[in-house]
Amino acid sequence: MRRVLLMVTVSTVMSMSLLSVVPDVANADTHYAKKKCDQTALASYNAYHDASRAIVAAYKTVVDAAKVTYRAAKQSGITSVRKAANANYQEALANARNTRASALSALGTPPRIPKGCKAAELHS
């Protein structure tokens, strides 16, 4: 009799412990499931970074063109040509910086990195 009572008690305890574990295991799938990438947030994030890259690339192009012009005029032996080339170069740099700054500020604040997206999907 004692043995039967012991078996019933052990089986009851085991079944009660399994009942408390099973719902947690079932909820683990939903709790630890990966969040899917928000495609609209990803599109706005990538569009912002593509636009900012285009602005910086345009700035670099203008600066490089100004450098080439300045270096070509610097080769001249005439002082007035070199001074004028330097003034034009400085003015071109100032204009390029102002244009870049205004274009980047027009973009606004960068969007947050979308959660759940793979690194390969992000343009950064």
22, part of any domain: no
**pLDDT score at 34:** 64
Summarize pLDDT for 30-85 with one digit per residue, the tens. 555 567 888 888 999 999 999 999 999 999 999 999 999 999 988 888 889 989 99
1, part of any domain: no
Count other Cβ atoms within 10 Å, centred on residue 60. 12
Summarize pLDDT for 5-36 with one digit per residue, the tens. 445 455 565 555 555 555 555 555 555 556 78
51, part of any domain: yes
Assign 3-state DSSP to the chain and report helix, strand, coil percentages, each to 5. Answer: 80, 0, 20
124, part of any domain: no
Range of the domain at 60: 38-113
Summarize pLDDT for 92-114 with one digit per residue, the tens. 999 999 999 999 999 999 898 88
